[in-house]
Amino acid sequence: MDSYNIKKYLNDYSQKIQPLLRTYLINKIKEAKKIGDIPVKFLESFSQMVVRGKNVRGALVVLGYQLAGGKDMASIYDASTFIEILHSGALIHDDVMDKDDIRRGLPTIHKQFENYGKGNGKSFAICAGDIAFYLAWDKLLNSNFSNDKLIKAGKIFVKYALNVVYGQALDLINNVGNNFNQQAILNVFRFKTAEYTGVLPLLIGAILGGIEDEKKLGILMEFGLDLGWAFQIRDDILGLYGNEEKIGKPVGSDLREGKKTLFIYYILKNGNDMQKKFVLSVLGNKNISGNEISKVQKLFKEIGAYNYVMQLGWDYVKKGKETIPLITANKKLQILLASLIKYIMERTR
Amino acid sequence: MDSYNIKKYLNDYSQKIQPLLRTYLINKIKEAKKIGDIPVKFLESFSQMVVRGKNVRGALVVLGYQLAGGKDMASIYDASTFIEILHSGALIHDDVMDKDDIRRGLPTIHKQFENYGKGNGKSFAICAGDIAFYLAWDKLLNSNFSNDKLIKAGKIFVKYALNVVYGQALDLINNVGNNFNQQAILNVFRFKTAEYTGVLPLLIGAILGGIEDEKKLGILMEFGLDLGWAFQIRDDILGLYGNEEKIGKPVGSDLREGKKTLFIYYILKNGNDMQKKFVLSVLGNKNISGNEISKVQKLFKEIGAYNYVMQLGWDYVKKGKETIPLITANKKLQILLASLIKYIMERTR
């Protein structure tokens, strides 16, 4: 990686892993052919989906590895794809739960398979997600690192991936604790996203790169958490104010699904009765109109909810940046980390 | 394990692992408490379910370990529980796909959670299954064996668990190949059940016990396959002729779900037009009556389908028994293996 510009870094990463993912999945398709047509069809759909990711998590594995001083770039690129495979599997299950039709600009897996067999697209999507989880393990366990490192990495994988599902379950029930407040929401974000998106990949990269010192891993974890929180906050902003083509799904999904985001928290705390009544009337409305979504967008800007959420995200960026000098003395890597965490809050997809 | 009577062996195994599973899950519940109520509720429901299994797969891990000459029984009992956790997770997802209400004598997870949150029990069950999969990895990777052995075991885990999901997908689409024949059905059984139930646990036990020789593992694999085929065949028989309390789910589910079992294959090949018409009329009927199920039971016995399926199962038992002398020279273990594979076809639950 000769560039320390984050956009180029992410772009280079995507370029490197796309052929690796394709080759890997082509081999898996060959194996699945012995079993039957439908596993092959799953893997073909999955191949299309997995290469369309943002690849932030995979790039963080590589970055963690470089921060640890790792030099075997070919092996870490290959190993890092495990988390892109895992993430696509998690999205397949999420889309079933959230009844979403579009993901990464394509029909979701349960939509693609809704006319197969007994017409039970959701059952196929449950299988497809499970398949992706096993492929993620397959990728990691068969990668070119020592068994000792792989076991350590596997334990990190389990720990944080488990928390994601716990967080997902909380999200389903809109259970952000008995008190619906900022701290409770950020707590769900921690388990559902921040650890998984920021901490998991950085730590696994660092472990594969040879860091064993718990204190060093702890500092990296702190940075990863801040990055992950900013990531989820930016996700919520893009979900409401983003460009549909870029985010690959409809704007306003969170409203449609009745998610109690930071925006909702802010308006319930600071809005007047009419504003609260309006927002609650559209929250969870499966048939919410484009007009209503626009009205919500405007209201959130007028009342200060938008600025409040943006500020929270930028606070995490600031906090994360302060940790950087503790992570590495390498100036180029410091610049890369700073530009990465800033990018997380500026990204448009 | 001082007894070489298989029923006592399985019973002793269940007695040993129940407190291990409980302790493990109590610790996981403590961790989940930091995250929220709903993960705790999942784990509590899961704890009730997982201890009610037949534990055949877990016992096979221990048996594989003993066949390899392993002596650290405390560690292998503990490690072996990974597959009981995994299996319960797979059943949770299966039950969502098959829309089953009862499992192991309890309401299925999606039924237990159907009134939670937005009343989306299936979404919770998808999460609960995913949680179980991660717990299975957590259990295996943190067990008391060398990292080298654990990585080998993990690769076996991935390989066969992946095939189960492929087989499950084939089963969903009733896709037993383009030709609906005995060989095609047995092929689905291989991936869906035989490898996973027979081969996976025996091989993992043997690897943790120290066997590295591919030829030895190959012989064990052959025995495991025969055992696994017999297992699935017996499962289909119990699903139609078993005692509901013992099998823990309603008799006739396969008919209700329209599964193209060996029974169906036989009658479509050997029945007269009226018999075929009757069976096809009830196959896949969600509201099939008790009377109709009795009629099918009788018909399958009269026409020879029952004997045909039983014979197929016993053929696998015979074939498996012939492999035993190649697996071990230890007479006591030989007797145990022979009584085990025979038990598979005689079991009533």
Q: Strand, helix or coil at A100? A: coil
Interface of B with A in 190-209 (CB under 8 A): 191
Give B102's strand partners: B107
A15-44 mean pLDDT: 95
Q: Is residue A1 part of a domain?
A: no
Exposed e or buried b per residue across B67-79, where buried means at least 16 C-beta atoms within 10 angstroms of its C-beta: bbebeeeeebbbb
Q: Is residue B1 part of a domain?
A: no
B215-224 mean pLDDT: 98
Q: For residue A300, is pLDDT > 90?
A: yes
Instruction: For A98-138, write each residue's pLDDT tens digit.
Output: 888 999 989 999 999 988 766 689 999 999 999 999 999 99
Q: Is residue B235 part of a domain?
A: yes
Q: Does B40 touch chain A (CB under 8 A)?
A: no
Residue B103 backbone dihedrals phi, psi, to 5 degrees: -150, 130
d(CA B43, CA B65): 29
Q: For residue B175, is pLDDT > 60?
A: no
Chain B interface disruption, residue of A37, A43, A166, most B CBs within 10 A: A166
A205-230 mean pLDDT: 98
| Residue showing tokens 């099918």 | B296
Chain B interface disruption, residue of A27, A28, A134, A193, most B CBs within 10 A: A134
Q: Which amino acid is at B284?
A: G
A192-201 mean pLDDT: 96
Amino acid A1: pLDDT: 41
Which segment of A342-346, B74-78, B259-263 scores lowest on mean pLDDT? B259-263
Total domain count, chain B: 1
Q: For residue A52, is pLDDT > 60?
A: yes
Q: For residue A258, is pLDDT > 90?
A: no
The tokens for A334 are: 């410091």
**Cα angle for residues B317, B51, B58 (degrees, 5° grid):** 40
Compute the nearest-CA separation of A329 from chain B (Å): 33
Write out chain B in H/E/C secondary structure.
Answer: CCCCCHHHHHHHHHHHHHHHHHHHHHHHHHHHHCCCHHHHHHHHHHHHHHCCCCCHHHHHHHHHHHHCCCCCHHHHHHHHHHHHHHHHHHHHHHHHHHCCCEECCEECHHHHCCCCCCCCHHHHHHHHHHHHHHHHHHHHHCCCCCHHHHHHHHHHHHHHHHHHHHHHHHHHCCCCCCCCCHHHHHHHHHHHHHHHHHHHHHHHHHHHCCCCCHHHHHHHHHHHHHHHHHHHHHHHHHHHHCCHHHHCCCCCHHHHCCCCCHHHHHHHHHCCHHHHHHHHHHCCCCCCCHHHHHHHHHHHHHHCHHHHHHHHHHHHHHHHHHHHHHHCCCHHHHHHHHHHHHHHHHCCC
Amino acid A100: pLDDT: 86
Chain A interface disruption, residue of B28, B35, B100, B113, most A CBs within 10 A: B35
Give A107's strand partners: A102
The tokens for A329 are: 């003395």
Amino acid A119: pLDDT: 63
Q: Which residues contact B209 (CB under 8 A, 6 or more apart)?
A: B64, B65, B66, B67, B68, B69, B70, B76
Q: Does A166 touch chain B (CB under 8 A)?
A: yes
B297-304 mean pLDDT: 97
Amino acid B150: pLDDT: 98
The tokens for A192 are: 């559902």
Q: Is residue A275 part of a domain?
A: yes
Give B103's strand partners: B106
Q: Checking DSSP bridges between strand B102-103 and strand A102-103, what pairing results, if any? A: unpaired
Q: For residue B1, is pLDDT > 70?
A: no
Amino acid A116: pLDDT: 79
Q: Is residue A220 part of a domain?
A: yes
* pLDDT > 70 in chain B, percent: 96
Q: Is residue B231 part of a domain?
A: yes
Distances (CA, A) of B293 to A118, A336, B253, B285: 22, 68, 10, 11
Instruction: For B9-20, write each residue's pLDDT tens digit.
Output: 999 999 999 999
Confidence of residue B258 (pLDDT cuts 50, 70, 90): confident
Interface of B with A in 68-127 (CB under 8 A): 93, 96-97, 116-118, 120, 122-124, 126-127
Q: Is residue B55 part of a domain?
A: yes
* Total-model pTM: 0.94
B178-202 mean pLDDT: 90
> DSSP code of A174?
T
Q: For residue A176, is pLDDT > 60?
A: no
**Best CA proximity match to A80, nearest among A106, A50, A103:** A50
A279-307 mean pLDDT: 95
* pLDDT > 90 in chain B, percent: 82
d(CA B91, CA B182): 25
d(CA A305, CA B2): 69
Asked if residue B343 lies in contact with residue B6, where contact means CB atoms within 8 angstroms, the answer is yes
Q: Across the interface, do A137 and B135 touch by the CB < 8 Å criterion?
A: no
Domain span at residue B219? Answer: 6-346
Mean pLDDT of chain A: 93
Q: Strand, helix or coil at A103? A: strand
Q: Across the interface, do B175 and A38 touch by the CB < 8 Å criterion?
A: yes
Q: Strand, helix or coil at A107? A: strand
Write out B172-196 in H/E/C secondary structure.
Answer: HCCCCCCCCCHHHHHHHHHHHHHHH
Amino acid B2: pLDDT: 38
* pLDDT > 90 in chain A, percent: 82
Q: Find the length of chain B.
A: 349
Give B106's strand partners: B103
Confidence of residue B120 (pLDDT cuts 50, 70, 90): confident
Asked if residue A208 lies in contact with residue A79, where contact means CB atoms within 8 angstroms, the answer is yes
- Residues of chain A with Cβ-Cβ distance to B148 below 8 Å are 147
CATH number at residue A160: 1.10.600.10
d(CA B88, CA A216): 38
Instruction: For B7-52, write each residue's pLDDT tens digit.
Output: 999 999 999 999 999 999 999 999 999 888 889 999 999 999 999 9
A287-305 mean pLDDT: 96
Q: Does B167 touch chain A (CB under 8 A)?
A: yes
Q: Is residue A160 part of a domain?
A: yes
The tokens for B278 are: 């009757």
Amino acid B4: pLDDT: 58
Confidence of residue A249 (pLDDT cuts 50, 70, 90): confident
d(CA A170, CA A264): 17
ipTM of the complex: 0.94
Compute the nearest-CA separation of A214 from chain B (Å): 18
Amino acid B176: pLDDT: 52
d(CA A190, CA A183): 10
**Best CA proximity match to B163, nearest among A123, A83, A34, A88:** A34
A243-259 mean pLDDT: 89
Asked if residue A338 lies in contact with residue A324, where contact means CB atoms within 8 angstroms, the answer is yes
